[in-house]
Amino acid sequence: MVKKGKPILVCFIILAFVFFANINMTYAITPSSNPQYQGVDVSDWQGYIDYGQVRASGIEVVYIKASQGSSIKDPYFDINYENAKANGLKVGFYHFLTATNIRRS
């Protein structure tokens, strides 16, 4: 007979082991440095953005929303990308996903 709580304790012990075992991570290619950049996340919620002002404020990286759901392209994606690059900013992209649950009987 398994008492309630033992599976949780076992999972915690396994997670702790995995965490502490990976503290001294090894890499296939050693990173040359650990740069840290100031960045922002942008999407159509911000509307038109003056990337000259963004750059002047010290921001170096822009994460741009590219899409959402199964078929929505962010309407500001192209202009955000073009203007961020034109102002010398590093860019990254993301897909916005809203998770849903499916109830099964």
Looking up residue 70, the CATH number of its domain turns out to be 3.20.20.80
Q: What is the mean pLDDT of residues 2-23?
A: 50
The answer to the question of residue 41 being in a domain is yes
The answer to the question of residue 101 being in a domain is no
Average pLDDT over the chain reads 78
The answer to the question of residue 50 being in a domain is yes
The answer to the question of residue 102 being in a domain is no
Confidence of residue 103 (pLDDT cuts 50, 70, 90): confident
The answer to the question of residue 14 being in a domain is yes
- For the question of whether the overall pTM of this predicted structure is more than 0.75, the answer is no
pLDDT higher than threshold 70 for residue 55: yes
The answer to the question of residue 105 being in a domain is no
The answer to the question of residue 1 being in a domain is no
The answer to the question of residue 79 being in a domain is yes
What range defines the domain where residue 44 resides?
Answer: 6-96
Written as one string, the DSSP assignment of 45-103 is GG-S--HHHHHHTT--EEEEEEEETTTEEPTTHHHHHHHHHHTT-EEEEEEE-------
pLDDT score, position 5:
46
Report how many domains make up the chain.
1
